[in-house]
Homo-oligomer: A and B are copies of this chain.
Amino acid sequence: MTQRNENEMPMSYSNRFNLADARRVVAAAEEEATRHGWPMVIAVVDSGGHLVLQQRLDGAQLGSIHVARQKAETAVLFRRPTRVFEDAIAQGGLHLRLLGMNNLVPLDGGIPLIRDGAVVGAIGVSGMRSDQDALVAQAGADKLIAAEP
């Protein structure tokens, strides 16, 4: 699998996450997207990879409906930002093996949602360039951390 820091133990999963949390996350992401004038699809899944909330901003390309959700699922299934896989593929060589997997989408824009050091879900954004998608996803992910007491 794509390298983590060797000393880094994988995070656990937690189901401490509800629709209100998802709404805060999506609202923050939507605000960022709207601020830039980017029409995007924003999806949030829980720690089991199941969809909690998804919305398509007006004008977003239809293909992003599936991709946003798949980025979120990938981020939960493999407990890391999907950027990691995109960067790996860019290096070519051995890393192209990722293309042989059918439960992983190697596009930036999917970010795990972390609470108390555990993965409670993930946000996935799609619609513009993947780094722009990721900027919006990060705005959403940051909101959850910001909400911690």
| A contact residues vs B (CB 8 Å cutoff) | 1, 3-4, 9-10, 12-15, 18-19, 22, 37, 39, 46-63, 65-67, 74, 76-79, 85-86, 89-90, 92-94, 96-107, 126-130, 133
Of B65, B67, B76, B99, the residue contacting A51 (CB under 8 A) is B65
Closest to A108 in B: B97
| Bound Cα distance A48, B85 (Å) | 24
| Bound Cα distance A19, B127 (Å) | 15
Name the B residues within 8 Å of A15 (CB-CB): 13-15, 47
| Bound Cα distance A57, B19 (Å) | 6
Of B48, B93, B99, B127, the residue contacting A100 (CB under 8 A) is B99
Of B12, B52, B85, the residue contacting A55 (CB under 8 A) is B52
Asked whether, in the complex, the Cβ of B90 is within 8 Å of the Cβ of A62, the reply is no
Of B19, B39, B79, B92, the residue contacting A96 (CB under 8 A) is B92
Of B9, B61, B63, the residue contacting A37 (CB under 8 A) is B9
Of B13, B63, B89, the residue contacting A97 (CB under 8 A) is B89
Tell me whether A65 and B92 are in contact in the complex, defined as CB-CB below 8 angstroms, given that A19-B55, A56-B19, A57-B19 are known contacts.
Answer: no
